[in-house]
Structure 1
Amino acid sequence: MADPVQRLSIPLPLTLTLPDGSDVIIDHLTDAQMTEMYAMIKDAAQHGEGYGMDEYLNEEGFRSEVGSGEKLAVMRRDTGELIAGVGNSIGHTCRTQVVVEAFLVVKRSERGRKLGYLVLHLSILLARDFGYVGLLLNMVRNNTVMQKLSDYFGFTRVGELPVSCLLPSGQLEGGLLYYLDVSKMGALKNLIQQKDGKYVFVIPG
C-alpha cells in the first residue's frame, strides 16, 4: 500500500519551461479542476481521441473512479488555464492495491506541444514516489499516440480487450493494456531538469 504522506520528488507548485519555450505551472489538482478535467475527457471522447463515448456517463462516475488517488494539474503560467490533467488511482482494471491506473488528458487546443510526454512522466513520478509497485495504462486501441509514449517510457504491452469502448461513429473499439514496474525505476528518464536556475522539460531527440 502506498504511503499517503510520502512527498513527490519535484517541488510543487513548479514552474516548468516546455520545449517550445512556453511556461506551465504544475500543482495539485483542485476540486474545481476535477470538473474541468472531466470536461476535457468528454471533449476528447466526442472527437474519438483517447476516450470512449461511454467511458464515464457522468461526472460523479469519473470522480468515484479517479477522485481518491493522487492528481496533478498542468496550467498555463500566463493565464492559469488548466491544459492537462494527471490522475493515478486504484482502478477497476487491476484489483490489487499496489498497482495504480493512470488517467491522463491534454486539452485538444494544446496538442503538439509535448504535453503527452509530460503528463505520462508525471504519472510515473506519482506512482513511484508514492510507493506503488506498478503503473497500468488502459488505452483505446486507436490511440497510437499513447502507444508511442508508452514505448518511449518502457511500458510493456501485457494484454488487450476485444471490446473496450464506444466511438463517436457508433463503432465498438478494442483496448490495450500496458504495464510499467515503477518499483525498479532507478534509471527513470530525467526529463525535468534544472538549468540556469529554472526547471525545463527536456525531450531527447
Structure 2
Amino acid sequence: MAQDVSSVTVESARPRLAVRRTREPPKNATGQIYCDHPDCHDHIPYFKRPCEWNKHMDKHDRPYKCTNPDCNKMLGFTYSGGLLRHQREVHKMNSQGKKLLCPYPDCNRSSGKGFTRQENLKEHLRRLHRGGDGRSPDDPISLEANEPENSPVLLPLHPSKRKRHTSESYSSSEEEGSNPFDLRDEITRLRREVIKKDSRLDELEKELKQLRRLIQNG
C-alpha cells in the first residue's frame, strides 16, 4: 500500500491536530469506513467517522518522528505525546525544544543537561533559591537545545536581593529531598486556606437561606 502520510516532527510547539492523510478513507459497498492495512485483514475494523479512521491509521504509519540524528533508525511514534515524552526523557528537551536550566549562574544546575520537566525546575528554585521575599525568579533560563552549553546566560529581570548560594557539594539527591520546615509551612498555609474557605462557605449558606426566605415571603 502506498505511503499516504508524511512524517511529523515536534520541534517548536505541541501538535494539537491529528495527521492529515493525502487519501480519503476507504469505504465498502455499503459506505462504511474501514481499515485496508494488511495488518488488519484478518480482523477488519470499521469506523463511523473519518477522524476515527485517521487516528487508527497512526498505529500503522507511526508518523511522529524524532529529528535527532541518533534516532534516525528508530521507528516513529503513534501519537504526539509519545514523541514529546521521548524528547523530554532522552534528549532533555521541553515541549518548546529547549533545555530547562537554573537561572542562577552560581548554581551547578545552571549548565549541563538541565531539568527534564518545568515542575522539577520550579521545585529546585523553591527549595534552593528562595530570597528574602520567599519567591523564585519568574523567568527561568531556557536555552535552545542546539546552542552550546557555555553560551552566555541571561539573568532574571528582577532577581531576589538575597540569594542562597549553592555549592558543588549539593548532590541531586539532596536537592530533590524533602525539607521538613518547608513542608510544615506548606501544611500551615493549607490549613489556613481551608479555614478561610469553610468560613466563606458558611457565609454563602447564610445568604442562600436569606434569599430563600425572601422568595417564599414574596
Q: TM-score range by the shorter chain?
A: under 0.3
> Higher relative contact order at CA 8 Å, sep ≥6: structure 1 or structure 2?
1
Structure number with the higher helix fraction is 2
Structure number with the higher strand fraction is 1
TM-score by length of 1: 0.21
